[in-house]
Amino acid sequence: MATRKSRDEDCCSVNFLKYVLHIFNVVFLLAGVVVLAVGIWTLVSKHQYTVLLTSASFPAAAIILVLAGCLALGVSVLGCCGVWREHRCLILMYTFMLLLIFLLEVLVGILAYIYQGYVKDELYQNLNSTFLESYSVDASRTAAIDRIQQEFKCCGAIRFEDWEGSHWRLGPPLKPSQSVPDSCCKTTSEGCGKRNHPSNIYYTGCIYKLADEVKEHLIILGAVGLGICVLQIFGMVLSCCLYIKLKDIID
């Protein structure tokens, strides 16, 4: 017959593990808020970039972060309840949920790291055709291109001359007098794109700054995902210890 143990035997007592896990849950809750905030910020403020990308890796990483953040908020409450009531089934469920969130955040880190490597090549291959074929045709992409040209102070994907062969200029209605879209102008006004002098429009292509912006934000997503996922390891170890400790205790 197995010998049952008291609550305070071995190196870590039940009360000590409960106390540490409550502290962990508070920290985990705050970390979940950070993860959720970064994911939402990416989806809202960087949406204009995603419609110009052919790969879904960038928005997918943000959506997974939002999911992980939402789960973290719920799981921290579940953990507090399980630990407080010393309910072994809840603690076991809590441990598996921590593992799931850990895997989601690792996935974000991996996606961000891999996509960093080829986002610049993807933009070089596809961004110019997106500019030339979608501007004035696709409303969401048109708005995104206008915003990027103004925000990054650039004109065209690679160079401002690219607009000469675009659907916007050559398609109906023809715009023989308009050199570039008005969003290329240093001071935007209706019809300002007729004059392509460097004093009037930006000469730098958008692809360079857009590639740097996407890569920098992928670094943030990867750092948040991989950085915070380390926290779950401590939580899983502590919850497993408490689960085992509660198995044969004597009240």
Number of C-beta neighbours around residue 69 at 10 A: 24
Question: Residue 251's pLDDT is what?
Answer: 47
- If one counts every other C-beta atom within 10 angstroms of the C-beta of residue 150, the result is 16
Where do the structural domains in the chain lie, given as residue ranges? 5-250
Q: What average pLDDT does this structure show over 169-195?
A: 83
Tokens found for residue 220: 């943030």
Stretch 117-123: mean pLDDT, rounded? Answer: 82
> Could you tell me which residues are beta bridge partners of residue 6?
250
**Mean pLDDT over the full length of the chain:** 86
Q: Which SS3 state, helix, strand or coil, does residue 185 take? A: strand
Kindly report, residue by residue over 205-232, the tens digit of the pLDDT.
999 888 888 888 889 999 999 988 988 9
Provide the 3-class DSSP secondary structure of residue 150: helix
The pLDDT assigned to 72 comes to 92
pLDDT score for 146: 93
Contact 156, 163 (CB under 8 A): yes
pLDDT the model gives residue 101: 94
Asked whether the predicted pLDDT for residue 123 surpasses 60, the reply is yes
> Per-residue pLDDT for 3 more than 70?
no
Query: Is residue 64 scored above 50 in pLDDT?
Result: yes
Q: What confidence score (pLDDT) does residue 1 get?
A: 41
Per-position b or e across 112-148, b if 16+ CB within 10 A of its CB: beebbeebbebbeeebbebbbebbbeeeebbebbbeb
Band of residue 6 on the pLDDT scale cut at 50, 70, 90:
low
Model pLDDT, residue 249? 66
Q: In the prediction, which pLDDT does 250 show?
A: 45
At residue 34 the predicted structure's pLDDT band, cuts being 50, 70 and 90, is: very high
pLDDT at 2 over 50: no
160: DSSP letter: G
Q: Considering the chain, what percentage of its residues have pLDDT values greater than 70? A: 92
Tell me 2's DSSP state. P
Which pLDDT score, from 0 to 100, does residue 176 have?
Answer: 65
